[in-house]
Amino acid sequence: MPILHTPLGRLVLAAALGTGIALQQVPLESAAQQRVVRLRNEFIDAIKNRATIEDLPFRFDHVKSSINSVSAGGKDGDIHASGRPGSFVALPMVAEVVNARLEKDDAVAAMRAAEGGGQVKISGVWRLWFEHPPSEVLVQGGTVPVPADTNPDHVFELHPLTVVNGHDADLSFVPINGYEAYTADRAFEVYERLEFRVKRNSTFTTISSTQAGFNYAEFEAVLGGKPMHVNDATFVVADIVDDEGNSVVAKPRRLVITDHTKASVAFAAKSPKKGTRMTLLGIPRVNLDKLTDEAEKAPGETVVVKGAYEIIVVGVR
């Protein structure tokens, strides 16, 4: 269902129109290396057990002039765009198509056609991650400023995109040909070390982290249980192992396999069940379900949580 047709969407839209509050940036009150975002509880509860946000009104202010080349690191074959989302998100935001060369005549062309124009609707996998955070605290709500370029300071993305103005990015959820992703031991060492601080009150949840990177990791996953379909995705916990079969995580971590993608088809073709082992390409995002569970155990207090991330499955080998 389009978000603005939901009770939550109408509530958020009414609140934004009624207050006219600009996007708030307030001085950082935590440790120097911490980056902070405050999200509406209603927003978190609406997306935490979903893969995607659908039919989000979005203005494409800047689309990168070229698709990223493919080799390693940031040369990952994506195309980056920045813009202003509707009131449901109300945060500085970027949108990216993975494997963009496969979509250059469809979803990417639709992005370019929309650049600098009015609102169009986009859908994609939501991603909260502290890769390019601002030094100020971001507070969700109100008017988002026009970004200066394709990669403004942000913590929220739709990445990968699944639909751009009616054009499906249905070719893109596959391994990136020719790309050298981060290995399991290198990437997950970083993910496992991250500590998230979370505090939930009656309206907002405050989340902070140090800056994090290591976008694309290729890894062996051993499923730790039966995959479960919830809302618009299949969720399953998995042990992550290195080339020698040694676990690189403290406990199994949640995988997110988005419906109606080539990744979901390839995943299902493996007849997945507990103990199934497969090679995956994925990118991390904050696990909002785990964070809110921990925060609700101590309302109004700051809780430190390790391992509060999950992996968006981009491709299945």
On whether the CB atoms of residues 122 and 163 are closer than 8 A, the answer is: yes
Share of the chain above pLDDT 90, in %: 87
Q: In 3D, which of 62, 34, 211 has the Cα closest to residue 136?
A: 34
Q: pLDDT class for 19, splitting at 50, 70, 90?
A: very low
pLDDT of residue 33: 85
pLDDT, position 142: 87
CA pair distance 65, 89, nearest whole angstrom: 25
Is there a contact between 144 and 23 (Cβ–Cβ < 8 Å)? yes
Q: How far apart are CA 222 and CA 298, in angstroms?
A: 33
* 33-59 pLDDT tens trace: 899 999 999 999 999 999 999 999 999
pLDDT at 311: 98
pLDDT of 9: 43
CB 4 within 8 A of CB 57: yes
Q: How confident is the model at residue 241 (pLDDT cuts 50, 70, 90)?
A: very high
pLDDT band at 20 (very low <50, low <70, confident <90, very high): very low
Q: What is the DSSP letter of 164?
A: E
Provide the pLDDT for residue 65: 96
What is the band of 209 on the pLDDT scale with cuts at 50, 70, 90?
very high
The amino acid present at 108, given as its one-letter code, is V
Q: Are 257 and 278 in contact (CB under 8 A)?
A: no
What domains can you pick out in the chain, each with its CATH number? 3-168 (no CATH), 184-316 (2.40.50)
Mean pLDDT within 235-241: 98
Q: What are residue 227's phi and psi, to 5 degrees?
A: -60, 140
Express each pLDDT in 269-290 by its tens digit.
999 999 999 999 999 999 999 9
Q: Please say whether the beta carbons of 159 and 125 come within 8 A.
A: yes
Pairing of strands 137-139, 79-85: unpaired
CB burial of residue 178 (10 Å; 0-12, 13-18, 19+): exposed
